[in-house]
Amino acid sequence: MALLITGFTKCGLCGEVIEAHHQFHSFAAFIPPGHRLHGFSDASVHQSCLLNCEDYQGLMHLYAGYQQIYERRPLPSPEEAKNFTHWYNNSEDIKSWQAELAQFWSQNS
């Protein structure tokens, strides 16, 4: 999730500082580099700016689709978690999940 420091972080759409009394939305780093909406990845925006953004519907569609895949991500067993990097780099479940995610982005670029 994007790091947001109220009174310091700027809205990714209007460029104004997001204050503590503002309504805002912070996105996870979910859109790959090169995608036309990558600027929203790991970014915070005012809620009002987001709602008025011409990409709002498309962005919400992407976010919902990504979250459905993300929630299906494989997780290691407690034993596998002891050597997480080895598990992650060698898991067929991870490779399959990454392929599903890559397919999602190829269909939604």
Q: Residue 25 or 63: which CB sits closer to Zn ion?
A: 25
Angle between helices 56-70 and 92-107 (to 10 degrees): 170
If binding is defined by CB under 5 A, does position 43 make contact with Zn ion?
no
Stretch that binds Zn ion, among 9-17, 29-37, 51-59, 94-102 (CB under 5 A): 9-17
If binding is defined by CB under 5 A, does position 53 make contact with Zn ion?
no
Say if residue 14 is exposed, middle or buried (CB neighbours under 10 Å; 0-12, 13-18, 19+): middle
**DSSP secondary structure string for all residues of 21-47:** TS-EEE--S-SPTTSTTGGGTT-EEEH
If binding is defined by CB under 5 A, does position 49 make contact with Zn ion?
yes
CB of 2 closer than 8 Å to CB of 42: yes
Q: Which residue has the tokens 């780099």?
A: 89
If binding is defined by CB under 5 A, does position 25 make contact with Zn ion?
no
If binding is defined by CB under 5 A, does position 14 make contact with Zn ion?
yes
If binding is defined by CB under 5 A, does position 11 make contact with Zn ion?
yes
Q: Residue 45 or 62: which CB sits closer to Zn ion?
A: 45
Site residues (CB under 5 A) for Zn ion? 11, 13-14, 46, 49
